[in-house]
Structure 1
Amino acid sequence: MGDFVPAGAPLFRVHGDPVRLDHARVAGLVVLAAERTHGDDPAYGFRKLVDIAERGLAQPFTDPTTAVMVIDRLHDCLRQLANRDFPSGRHHDDGGEVRLIERTLSWAGYVRLAFDELCLAGAASPQASRRLRAALEDLLTVAPPERHPPLERQLDVLVAAVHRSYDDQRDRRAALVADQQGIGSGADLAAESEAATKRAGAGT
């Protein structure tokens, strides 16, 4: 789904004797169009969102608020996918024999598509890195345990990238606070958290 097909490229690879196949009929089962579409290819929507966020993070004219808004949408999409079944891409006949195998995007694939580039590109923007951490930590609360490793990997990538981006430990800590607004609702900024910190300090 979504692959570009150059002229003369194969649409299927046949295993076994192809003599009984109607080649024209089989080729006609593939939908070809001038470009990818959102309706049939949800990964294309992810791809375009990531592109918008990356442009918002690119130097010299950064727009981290736009990047945060994109992360909002990616977060929402992945939250809706977190507990859904994903097709295996294996199609069987009535006898249970595999007749067609197609490549499909897995949960790990969607997580990587959404975050691989943004965890690297957003590390130098505190607003983006804080929003990314909030998204990943929230997804860990809704995804089943077997779907945690791709999310945990993204957290590791984000933390490592932030550490490479800042020399001062205080800047690193600030950039890695989970914050749904990027900068605005994190535990280090909320009035209640500040009050609790002052009370704790006064008692020591």
Structure 2
Amino acid sequence: MNWNKQYALRSYLRSSMWLVPLAAYVVSLALIRVLGRVDDWLDWSWNWVLEIPAAQSALEVFIAAMLSFIVFTFSSLLVAIQVASAQLTPRIIATTLLRDNTIRFVVALFVLTLAFNLGVLARTQMKIPYLLFTIAFVLSGASVAAFLYLIDYAARLLRPVSIVWRLGEDGLSVLQDVYPVRIEGAHHPSPPMPRLGPADREIAHQGKSAIVLAVDLDTVRKEAERTDGVIEFAHRVGDFVATDEPLFLMHGGAIAADDRLLRSAVAFGPERTIEQDATFAFRVIVDIAVKALSSAINDPTTAVLSIDQLHRLLRAVGRRHLHDDIIRSADGKTRVVFRTPNWEDFVALSCREIRLYGVSNFQVARRLRAMLENLLRTLPEARLPALREELELLDQALDRLAMLPQDLALARTADLQGLGAALRT
């Protein structure tokens, strides 16, 4: 299987809700057969004997309860997800909610218990299999407890603070993978991009028009080394690529590279994912903040919570060596050109839209200033010009507002809480 198909399969498995409950159903069938034989061998019974009709009635109650749990869980989660996506952003469905393992395993427990109880009921015709009946009773009790826990868990999960915190956690993980080297001591800027000149050959995208999700850089580098040339990836992760657009630009000996191998090293999909896309977590958090600042929702506190996570992510990426867009071989020769976001991209993405839509709100203006001033004090010198520019733009935007002098002074005060705990120097 090609790398891009393996990537697509892994991504589908991570974001599919139905696979774990299906596996639980298969496990329940195996448990019924194995434990049924153990029950026949032990011939175990309780100190008191149940009547067969009573045991069947109890199992029927268990089965009805499991069906109710499954139907209620899926219907209520679908409604809750739709409401949350409408108030926050639709992108949280694929990036956060469908990948939640707690929901998967609770639903899997319901399915396993339902199938197990059905199997026990089928065996409770001539006699009561007491071992199976006891396990069915325990599983049903555990399912009731899990159902109550799921209600509380889902209510907490769908809160804006929980969503943006999870996005922040996911964003940190991606930043650590894409930019693994932390800045130690003085930060030196990346060397300039070498002049490659016009491409000697192009490899076009032959599949459906889609978005670049990930690239197998190891395969691309090895192919460039094999041909003793330079391979330039014409796009960035997260870009939309139309059919027949250039995908790779070949320089020097790379004109002899295997087209099919290079195309298989790029994974495409209908929407951006968070795995290799360093800016996507920023994008989703900014979308949540912008929607919260819309006149239809008017929830600046959610925007402040979003800026909290952007502050956290900018602090992390600002302390890491960003790629210089060049991947070299062991002997130092340029082999692959693969462009990634630079520091200015991260800063502009985190600040510009929120400032545009929220500068007139005290909470947003104060929290945005607190973030920029904190980063100016704590990040290396090379990161400061972009932050100073954003702080200057924030001041200019505030100057253009028709505010009373007292309100303008309030809006110019840094506050990590938005409005309520101004920073004092």
TM-score, normalised with respect to structure 2: 0.43
SS for the counterpart of 1:59 is coil
SS for the counterpart of 1:165 is coil
Q: What letter is aligned with 1:55? A: K
Q: Equivalents in 1 of 2:380, 2:254: separation in Å?
A: 42
Paired position in structure 1 for 2:386? 150
Q: Equivalents in 1 of 2:253, 2:330: separation in Å?
A: 20
Q: What letter is aligned with 1:179? A: D
Q: Equivalents in 2 of 1:85, 1:187: separation in Å?
A: 30
Q: Equivalents in 2 of 1:38, 1:127: separation in Å?
A: 29
Q: Equivalents in 1 of 2:276, 2:254: separation in Å?
A: 29
Which deviates more from structure 2 when the two are superposed, residues 17-26 or residues 29-38? 17-26
Paired position in structure 1 for 2:278? 42
Matched-pair contact (CA < 8 Å) for 1:131–1:181: yes
The share of aligned pairs that are identical, in percent, is 37
Q: What letter is aligned with 1:39? A: E
Query: Following TM superposition, by how much is the alpha carbon of 1:98 offset from its aligned partner in structure 2, in angstroms?
Result: 1.2
Paired position in structure 2 for 1:200? none
Q: Hey, which of these two has a bigger chunk of helix by percent?
A: 2
Paired position in structure 2 for 1:138? 374
Matched-pair contact (CA < 8 Å) for 1:56–1:62: yes
After superposition, the CA RMSD in angstroms is: 1.8
Q: Hey, which of these two has a bigger chunk of strand by percent?
A: 2
- Give the one of 314, 321, 334 matched to 1:78: 314
How many residues were matched structurally? 189
Q: Which has the higher contact order (CA 8 A, sep 6+)?
A: 1
Query: Following TM superposition, by how much is the alpha carbon of 1:17 offset from its aligned partner in structure 2, in angstroms?
Result: 5.4
Q: Equivalents in 2 of 1:165, 1:110: separation in Å?
A: 26
Deviation by residue 1:98-144 (Cα, 9 ceiling, x = unmatched): 12111111122111111111122221111100000001111111111
Q: Equivalents in 1 of 2:284, 2:378: separation in Å?
A: 25
Paired position in structure 2 for 1:98? 334
Matched-pair contact (CA < 8 Å) for 2:416–2:423: no
Paired position in structure 1 for 2:70? none
In structure 2, runs of 5+ residues without a counterpart are: 1-236
Query: Following TM superposition, by how much is the alpha carbon of 1:18 offset from its aligned partner in structure 2, in angstroms?
Result: 4.7
Which deviates more from structure 2 when the two are superposed, residues 31-40 or residues 157-166? 31-40
SS for the counterpart of 2:240 is coil
Paired position in structure 1 for 2:412? 176
Q: What letter is aligned with 1:108? A: E
Q: Equivalents in 2 of 1:77, 1:107: separation in Å?
A: 12
Q: What letter is aligned with 2:392? A: D
TM-score, normalised with respect to structure 1: 0.86
Q: Equivalents in 2 of 1:7, 1:136: separation in Å?
A: 41
